[in-house]
Structure 1
């Protein structure tokens, strides 16, 4: 036996050639990745079948609709069934069904290469997205060349070739497409966790680059001013209060860009769109939060003994929550609470934490506030839209004697409100705000109201008294 250097290996020693091990590892990873890609292709085919099935259901309903309401409702119902199994949003599943059906119908060569694992899911998305602008007459030519460009290349490196190919075959110029694309400009937000969110903006490339460049210039100006202030402070010079610069400001350029952007959006005036009396600039940001009482109380900074800020070993300072359920840090919650002009108290059950009532309970506005507090998201089992989007739905329709009361109402977004009334999905109340959904296939799903930001008596029960120490021995 010889090793990688060609010398004879010592007897009794199992040599390990790093090159052989790495080659075997790469082969195994490649085979595993190929299996995953093939399974992804199978899943796309199954989603396409689900879309076709939904279309057949709509056709069998006999409903004639120029706007396709029957087809849309059938897609929602099928997507909701799959979403419950996948533990995903049914909106996402419905979009994937439509996309998979489009892939199967319009991109057969791409799907063939996908099933053979010659290209991966990222390549497929690139081809499908880029080819969407092309007419049927040239799509086959584009697809053949695009698949060839993707084989053996990363999606990033293939993108430039595919974009150029699509631009050559596109029936409309980039300028014309840009005008249409500008109609889709928008702003959105996304949860990140740890009390953070992301704010996204889609606009023309020149505007986005201009925004980023302006924020960068402002951040650099502050960095230079801060460095100068720190140098002056080290020399014993008194800073001029009218100048920029803080010797204690150690924020990075990224942090400064983010803070400057937030300051501008929260306090700046929309000069290009506002009226002479400043109607737009007078609008202030509105944030709805839920704060436990212990969190609203500032902690005792002088308490240094063990167990400060806790009761029976349980942390008394709990996170606050934005409307919709995202936790936020206690410092931000206290600042917002200090600026609040009014409060609404939510009363919870001391054992279960279930919401019982809000202040000034009356059948109208207060009932809505109670349900708003209890159902801090859409009550369909896979939906998480916040309460601002909700309809108050009668579980038993008012037309059939259903009472307008907490035990017969639930907050549903418009999509799932329509789904409940227009498809075979049904729901019933089990008490304490717990809903039981039954799908067209007969599966049941329990949806419980989101727990408020509180802890209950059960959490505060002290540990049982420890057994007394044994008596010392008599010797």
Structure 2
């Protein structure tokens, strides 16, 4: 991000806003510095707890003394003094210890105001399962991304970086998470309740996309006039209605056990009740048809799951993880199951170094360019916006009426709100090449935004041979059947 422009170089209309943005930026930097100080004090508090434990053990040699009392004493003291919960203080202590002992460069970036507390937390959380020998490289790449990304964007990308550096954490995480699948309900206010489903990410993403498509189909089928038959529900309300109708009227398919662990046989089912609830619920939502949409043909809408997977991984020659759009890295086993069942593949040709999508090869050429843009951008490209590309619009960076071409180098995905803002305000956008965009605000601050594929590849060069080189060097019999 570029620094502030001198007031005398600005249009007078934007001087006050520029001054306000400068003050807000300075305030954020000062808060980040204070958060760095708090992290060091929290690490000091943990050292104090360790000394108190050692003192108790020295005072009572030979006795079995736990260390929970010194910890609880410090947590209670800090929580009471700061008027926050002990769980909040516990989180501060853990993050502080990680920053001081493991992520020193992140701590310094926080102290300098380059990142904020949420960026630091994202780096810590995504790297928690990494081995010590890759953490330095992980931190370097994550901080490189943090300079231009929001905290949620960094959290997603940091998980992908961690998975690329240590692919085994994806499979380990899947095994742990699969055992925890369950369905819960929570009572809310005014007669509402919340249904919570924990299930494999690919299934949940497919459920959400299918329910959303059904809800959108109901909107398009509603009469345009305000009659008693019109549908003035919001998209969220229609999603909820479709979901309830699927669960109340549908029946699970015979494949309800498809989410069960792979070592189960047809004659055994040692799933817990929570796990069976989750599997049945996913099956209902992915295969059932809502009664309320019988006239709208909602039952014909199938789930859509978008996954970016390296060809070498799919062929069994590499272990680089695939990326589930809207979630993050997923395990290879799930990817191969999805690939085997996919009715259509979209083969995206990418640059061998930057991984920028360059060309799309599909059987049906209609909508070809838009699918290429969706593969490159994934979400609205406005800095900080995360609306999916499939529900956003393709914008001509240089307007068509001004001679702008309809091509990937002059198009970017923007959600409807940011598309409107770009055309109705003094914001400007410029393509930098390689899938990167530069947004310039009315106060003439510049914000770089890299396409996700470029961001995830940054720093890979030099760490190991590129995928295309490994493909050429591999000893592989191309007459063998595909491993999926």
TM-score calculated relative to the size of structure 2: 0.44
Greater relative contact order, per chain length (Cα 8 Å cut-off, separation 6+): 2
- Hey, which of these two has a bigger chunk of helix by percent? 2
Q: Give me the TM-score of the superposition, normalised by structure 1.
A: 0.45
Greater C-alpha radius of gyration: 1
